[in-house]
Amino acid sequence: MEEKTRRILMTICGVLIISVSVGMFKFSVFGLDPFQVLSHGIWMTLPEGFLDYGTAYAILNLLMLIAIFFADKSKIGLGTWINIFLLGYVVEFSVGTFDMLIPAPSLAVRIVFLVIGIVTMCFGVSIYFTADMGVSTYDAVALILSEKKNWKFQICRISSDLFCTVVGFALGATAGIGTVVTACFMGPLIAFFKRTIADPLRYGKK
């Protein structure tokens, strides 16, 4: 397969995996991932019925995109636009599907959805990071800090995740054990999947 085609497929698949995993987070009711906590918190401050979540999410990302353009426009690409205009709607569709298939999930089922959601999200992020065709505005924050300040990516990611969690929770969004676990471990898990799966997928086994 041609490398550019492989990178495009990795980007699309990575974002779709992330979208479904966010839906799993919401369905588990153990708290959203950190950036979703922030975006939900901001959305909840708007007048009821003013905007659906997918549209509000897109607008927030467009505002962040302006800042990313001036900070490091090399981070903007196909993955960025798919995140902005697709992720929020796929999340809503995923949650609706899970609610329809499992209308009254037990605690055990919710825990399974939480664990799978965390792992698949980290896997999806590693796939589209490695494709190097642009990242989401939020993911760009930790990458830019890491590259420009020469700080470890894991530390930058954990710091930005904790910031989003605190601010989003203060605005009224749901934060729970899943949010805390993700904020503390998402950076290391992304690095693990990138090293063991995403890099070999793009560059081949060394």
Question: Could you report the average pLDDT of every consecutive run of 10 residues in the chain (206 residues)?
Answer: 86 92 88 84 89 83 90 89 81 92 94 92 91 88 89 88 91 83 85 92 79
Q: 184-199 pLDDT, tens per residue?
A: 888 889 889 999 999 9
What tokens appear for 144 in the block? 């830019």
Tell me the one-letter amino acid at 53.
Y
Closest CA to 74 of 31, 15, 117, 135: 135
Residue 3 has a pLDDT of 82
- pLDDT tens readout for residues 96-119: 999 999 999 999 999 999 999 989
DSSP 76-112: -SHHHHHHHHHHHHHHHHHHHHHHHH-SS--HHHHHH
Tokens 């990575």 sit on residue: 14
Provide the pLDDT for residue 193: 94
CA atoms within 13 A on the CB side of 21: 23
pLDDT in tens, 125-139: 999 889 989 888 888
Supply the mean pLDDT for the chain.
88
Residue 35, pLDDT score? 87
d(CA 141, CA 107) in angstroms, rounded, equals 34
pLDDT reported for residue 36? 81
Distances from the Cα of 198 to the Cαs of 13, 138, 182, 192, in angstroms?
12, 20, 20, 9
